[in-house]
Amino acid sequence: MRLRANFILATVVNLWMVHTVASLWNIGISHGRHANSRFLLDNGVSRTPPMGWNSWNHFWCGINESVVMSTADALVSTGLASLGYKYVNLDDCWAESERDENGKLRGKASTFPSGIKALADYVHARGLKLGIYADAGNRTCSNQMPGSLHHEYEDAKTFAQWGVDYIKYDNCYHDGTRNRESYTAMGHALQKIKRPIHFSLCEWGQEDPAKWAGAYGHSWRTTGDINDTFASVTWIADLNNRWGRYAGPGRWNDPDMLEVGSGGMTMDEYRSHFSIWSLMKAPLLIGCDLRSVSNRTLRILGNKEVIEVNQDSLGVQGRKLRSKDGLGVWAGPLSDNRVVVVLWNRSELRALITAVWRDFGLSPNTPAIVRDFWKHKYVSMNERDRLTASVAPHACKMYVLTPLQS
């Protein structure tokens, strides 16, 4: 009983802090109350954005239990698991094309011969969590396995019995029902089964899920699918930016998985991608093949200081403060009165970018300690009024400011 009381008290205090900081930053917070909000607050899942790996970006339908097991091993051996990357998520194509004689989903015998329960046990034994993919329609997006339409409770029970910890719920082959109603059905089913499962709604932002999905799940896609190009990253970042006021502990805007390490962008572009996703408090789901990941990619994905921004307890999504000619200032509040600032150059030429203290509600005379989170060093112990940096094309600078008493 004491633990429950402490959890409720911590939740109330955190919500007060979020609303206070949000008002200072003029970003707003959703005040909606929902019939099943108790489901979110009681299961304690995803008070910070989830971190892990998802199979789709690299493997598409070419997954099997060997790939998943070796990826789980790689999360541990690379040290990524110890940094918070805990979810090992199967995407589409893991199941047989039809349900069994009892109407239940089943793992594809040719690729998951040991079954999903055994796979979950393997993942759990390494201190990790297993995620799975399902769909709100009659078939999944690949059309290779059944959807969960009219089978929501049965499938939720099956996932819980297998030990699943995360569900990505897609939106293909639906019956024309409004997305909100389709996702409500699975949300209520997950509430009934009582297992603490992260529920990720993937309806691609079609019906502005940021406005309602927090009642039924823990994260929701705000855009279409990402691809491994800088143009895709910038497009999605701008779309996701508009929904920041609806995010917070236990409910996160999801601009889709990380492409870091997939090979289509430069290292500067990948650092920008990872920095902005972390600032926006996006779920950090790795999409590359971790079994053969390069050291350069690991240095990006494993940047502990940048990860700490993403996992900050305040849980306020950072946003774009201003942008002109491809030169942008993105920022957000952190716990302990700190501010994260990203100077992002989306142009084709090196340029100077300046952030000024008034952007963050600080007096120009307020001194601040400034730390560079990619160089891992302090660049100033007494900066005032503004911060300027020369930024390479498609690159960024990421700083955390700690204001001092003036």
Better-scored residue on pLDDT, 406 or 23: 406
Given pLDDT bands bounded at 50, 70 and 90, which one contains residue 405?
confident
Virtual torsion, Cα 172, 134, 74, 78, nearest 10 deg: 80
Given pLDDT bands bounded at 50, 70 and 90, which one contains residue 316?
very high
pLDDT at 32 over 80: no
pLDDT digits (tens, 9 = 90+) for 390-402: 999 999 999 999 9
Q: Which of 144, 174, 156 lies closest to 62, judged by CA?
A: 144
pLDDT at 376 over 70: yes
CATH 2.60.40.1180 domain locations along the chain: 319-403
CATH 3.20.20.70 domain locations along the chain: 27-310
What are the structure tokens assigned to 113, written together?
A: 């011969």
pLDDT at 406: 58
Mean pLDDT taken over the chain: 92
pLDDT at 183: 96
pLDDT at 322 over 50: yes
- The type of residue at 246 is Y
Can you tell me the distance from the alpha carbon of 151 to that of 162, in angstroms, rounded to the nearest whole number?
Answer: 16
- The type of residue at 164 is V
pLDDT at 11 over 90: no
Active site residue 170: yes
- The type of residue at 171 is N
pLDDT at 108 over 70: yes
pLDDT at 357: 98
Can you tell me the distance from the alpha carbon of 248 to that of 52, in angstroms, rounded to the nearest whole number?
Answer: 19
92, 170, 254, 289: the active-site residue: 170
pLDDT at 37 over 70: no
pLDDT digits (tens, 9 = 90+) for 182-240: 999 999 999 999 899 999 999 999 999 999 999 999 999 999 999 999 999 999 999 99
The CATH superfamily label for domain 27-310 reads Aldolase class I (3.20.20.70)
pTM for the model = 0.92
Can you tell me the distance from the alpha carbon of 1 to that of 296, in angstroms, rounded to the nearest whole number?
Answer: 47
121, 208, 225, 372: the active-site residue: 225
pLDDT digits (tens, 9 = 90+) for 43-87: 789 999 999 999 999 999 999 999 999 999 999 999 999 999 999
pLDDT at 226: 99
The answer to whether the beta carbons of residues 30 and 211 sit under 8 Å apart is: yes
Given pLDDT bands bounded at 50, 70 and 90, which one contains residue 96?
very high
Any idea which residue has 């660049």 for tokens?
379
> Residue 336 class from Cβ within 10 Å (0-12 exposed, 13-18 middle, 19+ buried)?
exposed
Pick from 21-35, 86-100, 133-147: least confident: 21-35
pLDDT at 31: 37
pLDDT at 26: 52
pLDDT digits (tens, 9 = 90+) for 247-296: 999 999 999 999 999 999 999 999 999 999 999 999 999 999 999 999 99
pLDDT digits (tens, 9 = 90+) for 113-147: 999 999 999 999 999 999 999 999 999 999 999 99
pLDDT digits (tens, 9 = 90+) for 335-350: 999 999 999 999 999 9
Active site residue 135: no
Given pLDDT bands bounded at 50, 70 and 90, which one contains residue 328?
very high
Identify the CATH number of the domain defined by range 319-403: 2.60.40.1180
List the 377-383 sheet strands across, edge first: 319-324, 327-333, 339-345, 396-403, 368-372, 377-383
Better-scored residue on pLDDT, 405 or 200: 200
pLDDT at 44: 85
Q: What is the mean pLDDT of residues 340-369?
A: 98
